[in-house]
Amino acid sequence: MANTTQSQKRARQSEARYDVNKARRSRIRTYLRKVEEAIAGGDQAVAAAALRAAQPELARGVSKGVLHKNTVSRKISRLAARVNALAATTV
């Protein structure tokens, strides 16, 4: 347990940040799940739209410090490749 008033305050702030970041991560995962489901569904237009909706959320995660920049870049790249491959198979 925190002993000084400053460490008590930091513990409170840490809890608050944890809750906010947890909500952000959950929101990001929801967007990613929607993209995955659209890819599994096989509809390229829906998958592309879901990816376009997910990209700003992922970028926001980077700017808020929830996710690392390279992690988000890798995820977007791999999802985009899968969506594009979906377009190639349907043509």
Residue 2: what pLDDT?
A: 80
Please tell me the total count of domains within the chain: 1
Put simply, whether the predicted model's pTM sits higher than 0.75 gets the answer yes
> Which range has the worst mean pLDDT, 7-11, 53-57, 67-71, 86-90?
86-90
> Looking at residues 38-64, what average pLDDT do you find?
96
- Asked if pLDDT for residue 79 goes beyond 70, the answer is yes
The answer to whether 32 touches 38, Cβ cutoff 8 Å, is: no
- Please report, for the domain that includes residue 84, its CATH number: 1.20.58.110
The token pair that represents 80 in the structure block: 């985009």
Per-residue pLDDT at 54: 97
pLDDT of residue 87: 79
- The backbone torsions φ and ψ at residue 49, rounded to the nearest 5 degrees and listed phi first, read -65, -40
For residue 85, what are the domain limits? Answer: 5-90
State the Cα angle at 82 between 77 and 84, rounded to 5°. Answer: 95
Q: How many other C-beta atoms can be found within 10 angstroms of the C-beta atom of residue 86?
A: 21
Tell me the C-alpha to C-alpha distance, in Å, between residue 13 and each of 8, 10, 51, 66, 91. 9, 5, 33, 16, 53
